[in-house]
Amino acid sequence: MYDLAIIGGGPAGYSAAFEAAAKNMSAILFEKSDLGGTCLNRGCVPTKYLSHIARKFSDLSDSGKDGIFFDALRYDHERSKKRMEEIVLSLREGLKDSLLHDKVKVVSKEAKIVSEGVISCNGEKYQAKNILIATGSEAAPSPVRNAHISDELLLINKIPEKLHVIGGGTIAVEFSSIFRMLGSEVTLSIRGDRILRKWDRDISISLTQSLKKKGIVINRNCDFSSFKKNESEYLLSATGRRAYLPDSEGGLFEVGEKGGIITDGIGRTKTPGIFAAGDVREDSPDLAHLAMEQGRRVVRLIAGEEVKENTSVIRCIYTDQETASAGLAEAEAEERGIPFVSAKQTMYSNARTMISSDQRGFIKVLAGADRRIIGAHLYCEHAGEIISEFALAMDQGITADEMIRTVRPHPSYSEAVTEALRILVRKLDEV
Amino acid sequence: MAERLFSKHHIWVLKEGDTGILGITDHAQEKLKSIMFVNLPDTGDMISDGKRFGDIESIKTVSDLIAPVSGEVTEVNEELIDSPELLNDAPYDNWLIKVKNISSLEDLMDEETYLKSKDDP
Ligand SMILES: Cc1cc2nc3c(=O)[nH]c(=O)nc-3n(C[C@H](O)[C@H](O)[C@H](O)COP(=O)(O)OP(=O)(O)OC[C@H]3O[C@@H](n4cnc5c(N)ncnc54)[C@H](O)[C@@H]3O)c2cc1C
């Protein structure tokens, strides 16, 4: 009898396994395909590698202004794809070794929940005191016919001449930006009138502008019922993700409208001893770092620890210049009737930004009436790194006045954080 | 043709029926210097008198746009998103937004009064 049986070896599953090992619990993990899940094999890691090289290629194409010249610059997708596979493989091997080292038993087959505390896999039955469902998600069905999904786009050997992306979320925007920088002609078609609708408005407008400047054509208010595929285009559907449920005896957990497993904030399903974490949850924001934390929280709960339900959710978009967001957007704060003050600092006067790029950018910060930080929206170099100091402030209830006391290095992108806070404090003093 | 009216927050309003056309004053663009980006509301959004309805980023700073009237945004000058420098070139030819069912313009100034008052602290 295991203390914990985990179905799915993605970020939610393997993080739970490591946490269980650290707490001296016996754990078994079932993975029907590749360890690392969507994130490592078909998601975060390969796409961020591609966005890294797309940026590199675009920077080199534009390096004349810095006095760097080439006789010929060429991009070979087959070569970079090989490198991408090497990176994924090495991380996967590392993950496998760590699980082995932590004495987590890994079974490489599809698992099924037979009843409370019982899992069957490959003809065998396994007993466990607790079961964690971490089976992740798959691409949502496409609104148009004959479209590819992102898993397939990551397998192609040659950059398509023309790429048509359906969808206006993070994945759609990232792929559009990456493939445009690598040389494709890109069209992005969305149902609504703006990309990244769930994001801060300044960010959504800024990214729209930056995509258009790159030469990406954005079709808004599209009606996909009459959509006709153009044969000369590679058609990618990126309209979100859908929970992937394990085969299971009926009635053990409830499934919500979006098809995910309904849980409480920590991950309890309606059956004691059965939990869910990651993309498979109905309330999942489809983020790997959240999936990991949810997996760990379930283990802490099983270990009898007190579990804090809420930490701030950080979202990032890895276009050439990064975007990152945590906490409330202005529109959200307004809707919820939360009084706030917001301040925005642009990067035009930031020395480090001027040295490294000439892109427009900003840092926007929101504070509540008690001067505590309640939101941050960044569109600048390394936004995905800088955002963590805001998340820390939000999780610890730090005020704008406390944050501003830290002296940030010069020249750094973070100096703009100080500048934004300076404006914020001035505005807070005015109200 | 109606007369252009001015707010102390350096916004001009031109009334056409119950619609108000809003822009920034020449004085504002001069103070801002090179305008790099304009953030405007969406059509259908409500703006309210005295409240922020967007901002303008210049090389120097970010300036909030303060609404001189209340009403519903019916049109946004999308051209400014691509070419914000138009505001430096011709601030009175390049409007920001159009607003319908606008509230009273009573508190706004005529050009002469605005030009006299604009340098007051
Ligand atoms: C193109 C793309 C880019 C992304 N980029 C980012 C990013 O930059 N940052 C970020 O935070 N997130 C990103 N994501 C989202 C991220 O990948 C997911 O949020 C994350 O992988 C969720 O982790 P998970 O463990 O819940 O599920 P998954 O990673 O999907 O793992 C679930 C695992 O369970 C296995 N499984 C399913 N059913 C069974 C069964 N019955 N028995 C055994 N095994 C089973 C599956 O094979 C899979 O390996 C991206 C996603 C995509 C598609």
Kindly report the CATH number assigned to the domain that includes residue A79: 3.50.50.60
- Mutant choice from A201, A209, A364 vs B, greatest count of B C-beta within 10 A: A201
For the segment A322-377, what is each residue's pLDDT rounded down to a tens digit? 999 999 999 999 999 999 999 999 999 999 999 998 789 999 999 999 999 999 99
The structural domain count of chain A equals 3
| Ligand 1 centre distance from Cα of residue A243 (Å) | 10
Mean pLDDT confidence for A121-130: 97
Rounded Cα distance, A203 and A364, in Å? 10
**Averaged confidence pLDDT in chain A:** 96
| Ligand 1 centre distance from Cα of residue A311 (Å) | 21
Are A106 and A28 contained in the same domain? yes
Atom of ligand 1 nearest to the CA of A280: 26
| Ligand 1 centre distance from Cα of residue A282 (Å) | 14
Are A181 and A289 contained in the same domain? no
| Ligand 1 centre distance from Cα of residue A10 (Å) | 5
Are A106 and A188 contained in the same domain? no
Furthest CA-CA distance within chain B: 37
Q: Is residue A314 part of a domain?
A: no
pLDDT at A193: 87
Q: Is residue A174 part of a domain?
A: yes
| Chain B residues inside the 8 Å CB shell of A206 | 37
Are A13 and A95 contained in the same domain? yes
Q: pLDDT-derived band of residue B121, with 50, 70 and 90 as boundaries? A: very low
Peptide bond into A411 cis (omega under 30): yes
Q: Is residue A169 part of a domain?
A: yes
Q: Is residue A315 part of a domain?
A: no
Could you tell which of A44, A105, A319 is best to mutate to test the pocket of ligand 1, judged by most ligand atoms within 8 Å of the CB?
A44
Structure tokens given for A417: 């954080």
Rounded Cα distance, A387 and A161, in Å? 35
B83, closest residue in chain A (CA to CA) = A209
- Flag whether pLDDT at A388 surpasses 80: yes
For chain B, domains (ranges, CATH) are 4-117 (2.40.50.100)
For the segment A150-160, what is each residue's pLDDT rounded down to a tens digit? 999 999 999 99
pLDDT at B120: 58
Mean pLDDT confidence for B22-40: 94
pLDDT at A84: 98
State what percent of residues in chain A have pLDDT above 90.
Answer: 93
Of A189, A204, A237, which one is at a domain's C-terminal end?
A237
| Ligand 1 centre distance from Cα of residue A25 (Å) | 24
A193: number of Cβ within 10 Å: 12
Are A252 and A107 contained in the same domain? yes
Question: Given an 8 Å threshold on Cβ–Cβ distance, is A346 in contact with B62?
Answer: yes
- By Cβ distance, the residue of A201, A202, A360 closest to B36 is A360
- By Cβ distance, the residue of A209, A344, A362 closest to B81 is A209
- Flag whether pLDDT at A314 surpasses 90: yes
Of A188, A205, A237, which one is at a domain's C-terminal end?
A237
Q: What is the pTM of this model?
A: 0.93
Are A280 and A176 contained in the same domain? no
For the segment A109-124, what is each residue's pLDDT rounded down to a tens digit? 999 999 999 999 999 9
A205, closest residue in chain B (CA to CA) = B39
Atom of ligand 1 nearest to the CA of A315: 11
- By Cβ distance, the residue of B39, B42, B59 closest to A202 is B39
Q: Is residue A370 part of a domain?
A: yes
Residue B83 Cα, gap to closest chain A Cα (Å): 11
Which residue range(s) make up the domain with A184? 150-237
| Chain A residues inside the 8 Å CB shell of B39 | 201-202, 205
Q: Whose CA is nearest to atom 8 of ligand 1?
A: A44
Q: Is residue A296 part of a domain?
A: yes
Structure tokens given for A82: 């090989």
- Mutant choice from B34, B61, B63, B73 vs A, greatest count of A C-beta within 10 A: B61
Are A292 and A251 contained in the same domain? yes
Question: Given an 8 Å threshold on Cβ–Cβ distance, is B36 in contact with A348?
Answer: yes
Contacts of A112 (CB under 8 A, 6+ apart): A119, A120, A121, A246, A247, A248
- Flag whether pLDDT at B118 surpasses 80: no
Structure tokens given for A201: 């408005």
**Averaged confidence pLDDT in chain B:** 91
The closest alpha carbon to A130, from A122, A138, A119, A140, belongs to A119
Contact yes or no for A119/A30 (Cβ under 8 A): yes
pLDDT at A26: 98
B81, closest residue in chain A (CA to CA) = A209
A44-53, A179-188, A204-213: lowest mean pLDDT where? A204-213
Q: ipTM value, please give it.
A: 0.82
